[in-house]
Amino acid sequence: MKKIIVIFGTRPEAIKLCPVIMELKKYSRSIKTVVCVTGQHKELLEKVLRTFNVIPDYNLHLMKINQSLISLTSSSVAKIGNVLDKEKPDFVVVQGDTTTTFTAALAAYYKKINVAHVEAGLRSNNIYSPYPEEINRKITSLIAKVHFAPTGTNKKNLMREGINKNNILITGNTVIDSLLWMKKKILREKKDYKELRGIDFRKKLILVTGHRRENFGNSFKNICNALKYLAEKNDIEIVYPVHLNPNVRKHVFGILNKTSNIKLLQPLDYQQFIYLMTKSYFIITDSGGIQEEAPTFHKPLLITRDVTEREEVIKLGAAILVGTKKNNIIEKAEKLIYNDKYYARMCNVENPYGDGKSSKRIAKYLKNHL
């Protein structure tokens, strides 16, 4: 029997890899699928695993408060290496651009184990934005044997870097698999989410997320000051599930905590967040995953970054890069609030990232390859 080990550590990775794990387990007669989580996220990761009923075989518990990238990287490589020594898999599957992705790929390389990279080929072409994600995924691409690219643009990026086109498969993005699965679950269950009861859904609801390391400091202050202005000057409701990172929370709670029509929430589980996304008018975010998800629900995006590796949403007109300047965020947000034609144009876009069958393609390819 062949063996695949799927390694991930953060909430976004879990959302995108749980459907792959579920598909791989359908081939249990010929493939043993082992799940290893590093715990780069803790509470956020555990909620997603419960939602998809995925039980890890290993949890490395790497999460420490305010740990440095150097500390996280070194401990991650060492602990993942120990797991690989024990399991001796035929393939290591990683996803995206996190420190876990990079360190798992590196550990596998040191052990001469093949790596399959889900969501390969995304590029901003700026090594400090997103930081450290751009370097994480570039190094992972150098190591990986198989590259599962969401779009044709991603495949072209990889080929420009000298990667053999025969080792690249365009699959779509697995986040759409999870999104459509969750949409059905929400419609079926019709839950009353107690965490969302204080929100005034009669108003235009702006959903906000933010966690990018390169935005820590003054950039987060600018974003928060823009949100405060928007809330005070417009009849809207802003809902902000706040990331657990203390570098995010100190500015968000310090600036926004006393504004009545800004609801600061603890991180939501995946089902609650997707429900909230469906109820939003538009979204302000620096999240890559949300850039992929929002077009399915026809929700315009204001991206608080200067570059994005999800360039498809920009080209199609579903999103705008607004950066972190206060006045630019305010200007673009108020245009969406008051200009109905402008808003409608941004809504009227089909999702370029997949049809909900990406995980099936990945699992089938790996089975045939093995």
pTM (2 d.p.): 0.90
Q: What is the pLDDT of residue 261?
A: 97
Residue 282 near residue 301, CB atoms below 8 Å: yes
**Cα–Cα distance measured from residue 82 to residue 71, given in angstroms and rounded to the nearest whole number:** 17
Q: Inform me whether the pLDDT recorded for 95 exceeds 90.
A: yes
Rg (CA), the chain: 20
pLDDT at 132: 94
Helix H or strand E encompassing 218:
helix 218-233
Give catalytic residues, as residue numbers.
97, 119, 133, 211, 213, 243
Residues 259-288: pLDDT tens digits? 999 999 999 989 999 999 999 999 999 998
Q: How confident is the model at residue 325 (pLDDT cuts 50, 70, 90)?
A: very high
The CATH number fitting domain 192-347, selected from 3.40.50.1170, 3.60.130.10, 3.40.50.2000, 3.30.990.10: 3.40.50.2000
At 16-41, the pLDDT tens digits run: 999 999 999 999 999 999 999 999 88
Give yes or no for a contact between 147 and 114, defined as CB atoms under 8 angstroms apart.
Answer: no
In tens, the pLDDT along 178-211 reads: 999 999 999 999 888 998 999 999 999 999 999 8
CATH class of 2-173+354-369: alpha beta
Where along the chain do its domains lie? 2-173+354-369, 192-347
Rounded CA gap, 60 and 103, in Å?
A: 13
- Tell me, yes or no, if the two domains 2-173+354-369 and 192-347 fold the same way: yes
User: Does residue 44 carry a pLDDT above 90?
Assistant: no
pLDDT bucket at 159, cuts 50 / 70 / 90: very high
Report the share of the chain in percent with pLDDT over 90: 90
Per-residue pLDDT at 65: 79
